[in-house]
Structure 1
Amino acid sequence: MALSIIELVSAYQQHKVSRQEMEQTLEQHIRVCQRKSEELERSKILPEDQAQWESELKPGLSACYQGLIGAASEALEYAKTRNEELIPGIVALIQEVDRITQFLEMRSGLVSESTRQVMQENLSLHSDGVNIQAAAVHQGSAESTVSFLEE
């Protein structure tokens, strides 16, 4: 079972995973997100969905991947320093990814079945060991933020 970034940080805090295990898992998360982000450019989208894809769907997916990369990078820093002040930023990034994911799931109802399938493949990030569930809710701000939706 792949742990989400938040679950991994929690397990590290509780000494259930070693620093080495945490770092290896986070580095894997980063590699997967980078690969999937690059694959977005090669996605086959029907002409009738192209405008929606270019204006909202692809930028949203890209923002999700960047948010996950940011959260994993912050978690790597936490693994090295055990600086508890980093945790609210990690959680904030994951929450932003979750918010964007919810928006994208709603918007995917406006496109063809073919494009919906591409969206589902990209939204099911856990299929490659990356899980975007936020296990806890904390207040805080991140040094690097993902801003896709206007508040």
Structure 2
Amino acid sequence: MLKEFRSFIARGNVLDLAVAVIIGAAFGRIVTSLTDDVLMPIIGKIFGGLDFSGYFVKMGNVPASYRGSLDDYAALKKAGVPLLGYGEFITQLVNFIIIAFIIFMIVRSVNRATTLFEIEKNKTAAVAAPEPTEVALLREIRDELKARSL
């Protein structure tokens, strides 16, 4: 069983997937930082607040024992107040759109590069492929027969 497991792990697809997951997680953290630390403060400033992810609507009563700020999303959520946190949702939506756009650009670039590579390969194959001797011989015979029939 250990030998089978080692064989499974050593396959290229599993290793490629593992590398992709690790890089994807790191990339996700970069995009999250870009969204949280750069874009959302700008968007928040435009909409009147610096912490856009803290926008929410209270959907229920605040417990009488609660002593924190009524504007603190995290504290209210921790206290068990039902909240509609639309600011956090918008932050995650912007995150998703950025990631989707970057992946689109990567896939688009790879597709273009592949297409250009295929075109170059076909040009090289067309130029580099000499005419087979049988085809050249048949062409000469055809031309000779045409010349004799005239």
TM-score, normalising length: structure 2? 0.28
Is the radius of gyration larger for structure 1 or structure 2? 2
Higher RCO (CA < 8 A, seq sep 6+): 1
